Amino acid sequence: MLEDPSEVEQIRQALLRYAGWDQIPEDVMTELCVSAEVIEVKRKRSVFRRGEPGPGLFVVKTGEFKLSLISSEGREQILYLAEPGRLIGEGFLPADVQCAASAFAMADSEAWRFDTDFVISLTGRSQPLAMALMRHMAFRSNRLIDLVLDLSLRSVERRLASFLLTLATRAGAEQGKPCVIPRQLDMNTVAARLGTVREEISRALNRMQRDGILSLSRQEIVVVDLAALERITYE
């Protein structure tokens, strides 16, 4: 149980970023936030693994986590990356339901954990909390359907273009102006996120550089032609 008011407020502000959480009564929100325990997870260690019982609901405090699936051959598919403030709901499961994915720390990280039984008890007393959690689960389900659509119906180049366009948009890209995207993720991580291998990512990047859409260096990717990147994404 947390006793530091500033830490409780950190959790509250993180949860209020999600739709519906502002409808939860203040006393219920406080009870939930105070119940959190801080867990430390070393790089490459898991918070939970596929096939294990769900250990609870998590909010990332520091560092970064990845939600992924790993095949028997060692092939990885990253479902999403969770940065500080991000809610991880895939471990929030009844005792008789196993986790469908695994969560690993990308660096030495910390997370706030909320015990499943406690959260379930609290949702029984608060319909707004139950609705907020249902909304979050529905959002995650829709994102996973989008991922299936990407993997089954879109080429690697289109998936990569969409990924880069998202990063460029976050960086404030404007038509007619170069936009710098720092290379914060290694090629293997990008490939696992896009459902392919690093060689395919390298080939797609080089094609876009030859076409004058990108300029590549070891430290950054510069989007030279934003309109062309959009065309590849939406064609």
Cα(189)–Cα(67) distance, rounded to whole angstroms? 12
What's the whole-number mean pLDDT along residues 221-231? 95
Which of these three, 153, 179, 214, is where a domain ends? Answer: 153
Domain count, the chain: 2
In tens, the pLDDT along 68-80 reads: 998 888 889 999 9
Please indicate, yes or no, whether residues 41 and 127 belong to a single structural domain of this protein.
Answer: yes
Which of these three, 153, 168, 183, is where a domain ends? Answer: 153
Please indicate, yes or no, whether residues 27 and 128 belong to a single structural domain of this protein.
Answer: yes
In tens, the pLDDT along 83-139 reads: 999 999 999 998 899 999 999 999 999 999 999 999 999 999 999 999 999 999 999
Average pLDDT, the chain: 94
pLDDT band for position 203 (cuts 50, 70, 90): very high
Task: Report the CATH number that the domain containing residue 193 is assigned in CATH.
Answer: 1.10.10.10
What's the whole-number mean pLDDT along residues 195-217? 95
What's the whole-number mean pLDDT along residues 136-153? 89
Please indicate, yes or no, whether residues 144 and 41 belong to a single structural domain of this protein.
Answer: yes
Please indicate, yes or no, whether residues 68 and 113 belong to a single structural domain of this protein.
Answer: yes
Give me the pLDDT at residue 153, please: 84
Angstrom distances, CA of residue 62 to CA of 13, 40, 65, 111, 153 = 15, 9, 9, 7, 35
Cα(66)–Cα(87) distance, rounded to whole angstroms? 12
Give me the pLDDT at residue 126, please: 97
Cβ atoms within 10 Å, residue 31: 15
Please indicate, yes or no, whether residues 161 and 95 belong to a single structural domain of this protein.
Answer: no
In tens, the pLDDT along 1-40 reads: 888 999 999 999 999 999 999 999 999 999 999 999 999 9
% of the chain with per-residue pLDDT over 70: 100
In tens, the pLDDT along 29-41 reads: 999 999 999 999 9
Domain encompassing residue 24: 5-153
What's the whole-number mean pLDDT along residues 170-189? 92
Please indicate, yes or no, whether residues 97 and 186 belong to a single structural domain of this protein.
Answer: no
Which of these three, 133, 153, 173, is where a domain ends? Answer: 153
DSSP E strand stretches across the chain = 37-41, 46-48, 57-62, 65-70, 76-82, 87-88, 102-105, 109-114, 179-182, 214-216, 220-223
What's the whole-number mean pLDDT along residues 195-221? 94
